[in-house]
Amino acid sequence: MPLNLAVSSARGPSSVPDSAFALDARIAAFRYPRGVRPALGVVDLKVRTGEFVVIVGPAGAGKTTLCYCLTGVIPHFVEGAYQGAVKINGQDLAGLPLPGITALAGFVLQRPENQLFNLTVAEDVAFGPENLGWAPEDIRESVARSLAFVGMSGAAQRLSASLSGGETQRVALSCVLALDSGLFILDQPAAELDPLGRKRVYEHLRRLNREAGKTIVLVEDRLTEVVSFATRLIRLHEGRIVRDAAPAEFFTDEEALAQNIRLPDSIKLHYQLKGNLPSSCRPPAPSAPREVADRLKPLLDPAKLARLADAGAEGGARPDHQGAPTVVAVRDLGFRYPGSERWALRDLNLKFKQGEFTAIIGENGAGKTTLAKNLAGLLRPTRGQVMVAGQDSARVSTARLSDSLGYYFQDPDCQIFCDSVFDEVAFGLRVRKVSAKQIEEAVGSTLRKLGLLALRQSHPYTLSRAQRKRLALASVLVHQPRVLVVDEPAAGLDQQATTEIMDLLAEFNRAGGTVLMITHDMDAVVGYTKRSIVLAGGSVQLDAATASLGEHLDLLSGAGIELPDFCLIAHALGLPRSCRDVAELACLITQALA
């Protein structure tokens, strides 16, 4: 029988007996062995059975460390100076072995690939129930049910190593769902999914919470998809809880704007317009784009709206970089992975000119990363041709190709292997027999530009994820390639780190470099790129100006893509669809006021 969350969410944690808590955490401090300061300070967190709690905060706030404590990973597996106690359903985790905790709480790690280690998807999902001694028929039913829940029903016999990043994330979530515990602790479980995929997963979690009574504790940077069904929002800062409130109250604190978290566009727009609109038009809580537009429209002058729409109509034309040379040409490209009957890419024909900034978008499994690896020479075309700066990628070494085209991996740890930051960036230059003086100058200049100079002697794995992302980019930029292919450049980063990475790419582009960016981050697409290519099923579905994407909403939806809410608000108001961010939308709305 579904829980009555409307009643339970109205009661504060201190107003109910301890027996009603699915989770009771009282942590005094935790410091990692090499930590300069505690990763967690005093944290007192109680979660009632049936709640849906969302934890937000900037990078380094302690979100993942808190998840480790809540699931017993700290202190059972991760070492450090720990003072605290965590109880799940009244059972102290300190007295339980780590495998025994899985029956109480399911945990999805921030890096889902670390949770898959069997040969096939079915074996990975069955691993937990098998080790808990379930009957074979119950295991089979649980595997089928959990894979169906995440939209991976047909993937049971696929090799786990063959999954895309988004598919890996879905399977990791299904591994936890298969255990059918009462508490789920999820660390950004949809970070690598396409927009519609994220929405589907969170709608499923909502159903799991509302209909099955499961308790959810979720770490998520993007609040838009989850805020409507969260019972509480908790903000962490420097290892401490600085705000704990219901969604309707959480955003009344204007300090949230300065906390480096991804707020819903309706909230950001509210504060951008503060002082320009009557109080009756200010949304007290996150609102859907249509609701925001309906609230604003009566206040706007139709004639002014029409003039603004006409002025923005020219923004839909894609810059053609007339006179610029073609630096990458894809001709009749087809690619099929060995042993597979499915074509991952089908007859692609594309040209990219010097100075373009292009987004390659589409749902998980559309062929985006496969295309990127063909461009970089990491995969060789099954048929067709890829020409990079006049070189056939299939006929030259990847090392030679990298002089013209740099490839920035989605996971920075895939391209970091040296013992110091300086050596990492210098590696490719040393292989090319560049003189020591030139290496010192080139590496020093690149590290300075990316804000890493002070860390030049540090080991890469002592850096934060955001710093490792910049280090991986530095190791590519130091070669001064003409083309940069970047795969999810800001995945897993907070708002500030995302802006820093995207600004570095924009700087490279302004200097004449060509950027081809694979991403699910539509804010980055709209805010930085001029051209967008939509892939679906390995084929190009759309190749158009980014500013004109609002004219293709049905096609985008079919390809697993959703535009940011501020774009949909602009569309509903009749304002220019070339709007690039919330601040620009707020400026246009202010100009259109009656």
Please report the pLDDT score of residue 318 as a whole number: 54
Position 569 confidence tier, pLDDT thresholds 50, 70, 90: very high
Residue 72 has pLDDT above 80, yes or no: yes
Q: For residues 564 and 222, what is the distance between their CA atoms, to the nearest angstrom?
A: 11
- pLDDT computed for residue 100 by the predictor: 83
Pairing of strands 357-361, 531-536: parallel
d(CA 349, CA 334): 10
Minimal CA–CA distance to 352: which of 192, 135, 533?
Answer: 533
Q: Which residue has the tokens 């994220």?
A: 198
Amino acid at 372: A
Cis preceding-peptide flag for 75 (omega within 30 of 0):
yes
DSSP 239: T
Helix H or strand E segment including 105? strand 105-108
Q: Band of the pLDDT at 279, cuts 50, 70, 90?
A: low
**CA separation for the pair 401, 399 (Å, rounded):** 5
DSSP per-residue codes, 358-382: EEEE-STTSSHHHHHHHHTTSS--S
DSSP secondary structure letter of residue 262: B
Q: Looking at the predicted structure, is the pLDDT value of residue 8 above 90?
A: no
DSSP annotation string for 17-59: -GGGEEEEEEEEEEE-TT-SS-SB--EEEEEETT-EEEEE--T
Q: What is the pLDDT of residue 536?
A: 94
Mean pLDDT (whole number) for 72-89: 93
pLDDT at site 50 = 94
Whether the pLDDT of residue 253 is over 80: the answer is: no
Find the largest Cα–Cα distance for the chain.
73
Q: What distances in angstroms separate CA 165 from CA 160, 190, 409, 461, one per listed residue?
A: 11, 10, 12, 22
Detail the DSSP E strand segments found in 188-320.
215-219, 232-237, 240-245
CB 210 within 8 A of CB 575: no
Residue 353's closest CA among 387, 383, 384, 377? 387
DSSP track, 304-325: HHHHHHHHHGGGGSPP--TTPP
Write the burial class of residue 206 (CB in 10 Å: 0-12 exposed, 13-18 middle, 19+ buried). middle
Domain coordinates in residue numbering, the chain: 264-299+567-594, 326-566
In CATH terms, 326-566 corresponds, of 3.40.50.300, 2.60.40.1080, 3.40.718.10, 3.30.1490.20, to 3.40.50.300
On the question of pLDDT at 3 being above 70, the answer is: no
Buried b (16+ CB within 10 A) or exposed e, 504-523: bbeebbeeebbbbbbbbbbb
**169 — pLDDT class (breaks 50, 70, 90):** confident
Extract the tokens encoding 125.
């999902």
- What the block records as the tokens of 40 is 């967690």
- Average pLDDT value for residue range 37-48: 94
- pLDDT band for position 153 (cuts 50, 70, 90): confident
How far apart CA 565 and CA 571 sit, in angstroms, is 10
Name the residue with tokens 């780590």. Answer: 98
Q: Any idea what DSSP says for residue 192?
A: T
CB 201 within 8 A of CB 176: no
Banded model confidence at residue 467, pLDDT cuts 50, 70, 90: confident
Over residues 84-98, the mean pLDDT reads 91
483 in Cβ contact with 388 (< 8 Å): yes
**pLDDT at position 429, please?**
93
CA distances from 362 to 182, 520, 543 (A): 34, 7, 12
d(CA 176, CA 287) in angstroms, rounded, equals 31
* Residue bearing tokens 């169906």: 148
pLDDT at 477 over 70: yes
Q: 97 CB contacts (<8 Å, ≥6 apart)?
A: 76
* Mean pLDDT of the residues in the chain: 87
Tell me: pLDDT of 519 over 70: yes
> How many C-beta atoms lie closer than 10 Å to residue 15's C-beta?
9
Sign of the Cα torsion 407, 409, 415, 420 reads: positive
**Side-chain half-sphere exposure of 123, counting CA atoms within 13 A:** 10
Q: What is the pLDDT of residue 250?
A: 87
How confident is residue 248, by pLDDT bands cut at 50, 70 and 90? confident
Is 444 a residue whose pLDDT tops 80? yes
The answer to whether the beta carbons of residues 525 and 508 sit under 8 Å apart is no
Give the pLDDT confidence of 397-409 residue by residue, as tens digits.
Answer: 888 898 999 999 8
Asked if residues 321 and 509 have their Cβ atoms less than 8 Å apart, the reply is no
The pLDDT of residue 319 is 58
pLDDT (tens digit, 9 = 90+) per residue, 193-244? 788 778 888 888 888 899 888 999 999 888 888 888 899 999 999 999 999 9
Average pLDDT, integer, range 86-96: 92
Q: 1-15, 76-90, 390-404, 423-437: which has the minimum mean pLDDT?
A: 1-15
Sign of the Cα pseudo-torsion (96, 97, 102, 107, in order)? positive
All residues at 6 or more sequence positions from 175 whose CB lies less than 8 Å from its CB, including other chains: 115, 116, 124, 125, 127, 128, 146
E strands in 464-564: 483-487, 514-518, 531-536, 539-545
The predicted pLDDT at position 256 comes to 63
**Half-sphere exposure in the Cβ direction for 99 (13 Å, CA):** 7
Q: Which residues contact 397 (CB under 8 A, 6 or more apart)?
A: 377
Amino acid found at 328: V
For 446-467, what is the mean pLDDT? 88
pLDDT band of residue 7 (cuts 50, 70, 90) is very low
Compute φ and ψ for 332, nearest 5 degrees: 50, 40
pLDDT bucket at 191, cuts 50 / 70 / 90? confident
Nearest residue to 63 via CA among 181, 198, 234, 231: 234
Residue 315 pLDDT > 80: no
Beta bridge partners of 47: 23
Q: What is the pLDDT of residue 254?
A: 67
Take residue 244 and report the two structure tokens written for it: 């704990």
H or E stretch at 506:
helix 495-510
With cut-offs at 50, 70 and 90, classify the pLDDT of residue 412.
confident
Q: pTM surpassing 0.85?
A: no
For residue 403, the surrounding DSSP H or E stretch is none
CA 110, CA 127: separation in Å to the nearest integer? Answer: 20
pLDDT score at 218: 95
Using a pLDDT cut of 90, give the percent of the chain over it.
51
Q: What is the percent of the chain with per-residue pLDDT over 70, rounded to a whole number?
A: 93
Rounded Cα distance between 196 and 193, Å, is: 8
Q: What is the pLDDT of residue 552?
A: 93
